[in-house]
Structure 1
Amino acid sequence: MKQTDIIPFYGGTHPELFEIERRCMDREGKVIDELQQLLPNGLVLDIGAGNGFTAEKLQTTQRTIIGMEPDELMIDCTKQVIFTKGCAQDIPFHTHTFDAAYSTWAFFFEGITDLDKGIAEMKRVVKKGGPLIIVDNYGEDEFCALSDRPITSSTNHWIKRGFDYHIIETAFIFDDVEEARKLLGFYFGDPGMAVEKTRFEYKVAVYTALNE
């Protein structure tokens, strides 16, 4: 694993902000509910698992999630998740190990990382016919409008690579305005510090394909 394969992320050095993000992003749990429906039973890989927040929620008595995370500072060993260290471009598992794989707001950032290498590795470790799922920002919402730079995924990119997609309309929901300003100010600077409410419309794209 090369250092250039890892996207710098604030969660390991600012755990208090990451706690706000995970608690308030999609607070109604719509993305988790969707993944519960899409993922099969068996062995599933979470690429860029962070602190294991999503993996822990998706585990069942019939489904084991392996959380793969390159940043040791992100891993939360108190969670009921099996973790391994690794990056999307070089997944440390044998071919056809998993029944499915997914990634939520993690590796697949167009123009920053080698997307095709990551997709190829994802396909390699998932059994034929198993689902591949990418969750990312869709845009055209209140949350993404706060940014002065593009933070949305390219639907054309994924369509060209054989993925379908659908949109989940969810929200960032904060406990109070002070909490909203703390996280959104960190993300977006002055526009985030100027917010006056606790709920922000947020659209998520869920990209899906079956491994061929």
Structure 2
Amino acid sequence: MSDEQTTHFGYEKVDVKDKARRVAGVFHSVAAKYDIMNDVMSGGIHRIWKQFTIELSGVRPGHKVLDIAGGTGDLTKKFSRIVGPTGQVVLADINESMLNVGRDKLIDSGVAGNVVYTQADAQYLPFPDNTFDCITIAFGLRNVTDKDLAIASMLRVLKPGGRLLILEFTKPQNALVEKAYDFYSFKILPTMGQIIAQDADSYRYLAESIRMHPDQETLKGMMDAAGFAQTKYHNMTGGIVALHTGIKP
């Protein structure tokens, strides 16, 4: 099997055509416990990371927003309130189980009129060119098979002047933090996954997928290469997470 036909599923090399199926299996498995695990894994800090993303988005009433890999709808819920009745938020996820959990959660919390749900692959977004004022993808890009293809797809469907925000786990900036983070990710996290979600393997994959994700400068370079302007990133929590932003010229 040549490198052109293979990609990484965590630390494992798999056929490109098989990665999407394997990732789907992970998220079908964890969907029901996803929110609980997020809070437990991050000590609730993921809410601060997401709020920072909202604040840097520049989204205003009447805007059209695409929340890719939107999962259980944390960002969508906040954007729905901001864009108001004249705006629209599209919650997109490739995984039907995650999309169903997100839709049920948002409807139960009273979010309805300005949110649309779409099962979509980030690499092949099913929207016309120049559709959205803002696109977010939070903790989803590392699971995409061809990240360059996905970033180009996002650029295509953004309006000129529109903003992309990529929130993702990345490389800690301090060696001690990195060592502690590795211990937590590979020793503690799978055990927590087993106890809470009865699934250690999926959380072991998620830890591995973080390590295989491009570091901050590499991802910025990928956004530059795709054609984004004014690209930058903001490290949070010692670089465990970074928010990358870019504008469509």
Is 1:116 aligned to 2:154, yes or no?
no
What is residue 24 of structure 2 aligned with on the other side?
Answer: 8
* Higher percent of residues as helix: 2
Is 1:65 aligned to 2:81, yes or no?
no
What is residue 34 of structure 2 aligned with on the other side?
Answer: 18
How far apart are 1:26 and its partner, in Å? 6.2
Distance 1:167 1:86 in 2: 28
How far apart are 1:105 and its partner, in Å? 0.7
Runs of 4+ in 1 over 6 A off after TM superposition: none
Aligned residues of 1:30 and 1:168 also touching (Cα < 8 A)? no
Mind listing any 5+ residue stretches in structure 2 that lack a counterpart?
1-16, 187-207, 225-230
Distance 1:26 1:126 in 2: 33
Per-residue Cα deviation, 1:80-138 (whole angstroms, up to 9, x for no partner): 342101011110111011001010011345xx621111011000000011111111112
SS of the residue corresponding to residue 129 of structure 1 reads strand
Is 1:204 aligned to 2:241, yes or no?
yes
Mind listing any 5+ residue stretches in structure 1 that lack a counterpart?
170-200
Distance 1:33 1:117 in 2: 27
Q: Write the letter of the residue equivalent to 1:131.
A: R
Per-residue Cα deviation, 1:134-178 (whole angstroms, up to 9, x for no partner): 111123344444345462441122222323111122xxxxxxxxx
What is residue 89 of structure 1 aligned with on the other side?
Answer: 123
Q: Which has the larger displacement, 7-16 or 53-62?
A: 7-16
What is residue 146 of structure 1 aligned with on the other side?
Answer: 184
Distance 2:51 2:78 in 1: 10
Q: 1:59 to 1:94 in 2, by over 3 A?
A: same
Q: TM-score, normalised by structure 1?
A: 0.72
What is residue 136 of structure 1 aligned with on the other side?
Answer: 168
| Residue number among 30, 52, 57 corresponding to 1:34 in the alignment | 52
How far apart are 1:202 and its partner, in Å? 7.5
Q: Which has the larger displacement, 23-32 or 45-54?
A: 23-32
Q: 1:203 to 1:128 in 2, by over 3 A?
A: same
Per-residue Cα deviation, 1:33-83 (whole angstroms, up to 9, x for no partner): 212212222011111111223321332242532111111111222213421
Q: Write the letter of the residue equivalent to 2:158.
A: V
Q: Which has the larger displacement, 82-91 or 13-22?
A: 13-22
Aligned residues of 1:143 and 1:202 also touching (Cα < 8 A)? no
Q: 1:11 to 1:5 in 2, by over 3 A?
A: closer
Q: 1:68 to 1:204 in 2, by over 3 A?
A: same
Q: Which has the larger displacement, 138-147 or 28-37?
A: 138-147
Aligned residues of 2:142 and 2:209 also touching (Cα < 8 A)? no
Q: Write the letter of the residue equivalent to 2:140.
A: A
Per-residue Cα deviation, 1:161-200 (whole angstroms, up to 9, x for no partner): 323111122xxxxxxxxxxxxxxxxxxxxxxxxxxxxxxx
Distance 1:31 1:5 in 2: 26
What is residue 190 of structure 1 aligned with on the other side?
Answer: none
Percent of residue pairs bearing the same amino acid type? 23
Q: Write the letter of the residue equivalent to 1:64.
A: Q
